[in-house]
Amino acid sequence: MRKLSLDALAREHLERATAATTGRSATTVYGGHEHVLRQTVLAQTAGTELAEHESPGEATLLVLRGRVRLTSGDTFWDGRSGDLIAIPDARHSLTAVEDAVVLLTVAKA
């Protein structure tokens, strides 16, 4: 059994994102390519975007800090700390409205 502090990881990766030229920092906290389930902590500084992409399976975003906007086509969902957003099975992008950290959970098909 392994225990992690998502709060500590959020702080750490937001600091790393602030220092990075990309404005992003991420780490997989559970799973990986050899598992069906993968969970990743992703930090983005305000205004940075993960460009439009496909999801490899069912996915959700849990906003740990800040505010984000998930966009798919002409539809968008705003999320803030504590919100859970189901990611659509379509191309989508993620923008940090303010400095933000999310927990991305993906269950590969």
Half-sphere exposure of 22 (CA within 13 A, CB side): 12
Q: Could you give the CA distance from residue 62 to residue 55 in angstroms, rounded to a whole number?
A: 16
Half-sphere exposure of 79 (CA within 13 A, CB side): 27
In a domain, 78, yes or no: yes
13: domain range?
6-108
**pLDDT at residue 57, as a whole number:** 81
In a domain, 24, yes or no: yes
Amino acid found at 50: L
In a domain, 17, yes or no: yes
In a domain, 101, yes or no: yes
**pLDDT at residue 109, as a whole number:** 73
Q: How many domains are there within the chain?
A: 1
Low-confidence ranges of the chain (pLDDT < 70): none
In a domain, 1, yes or no: no
CATH number at residue 44: 2.60.120.10
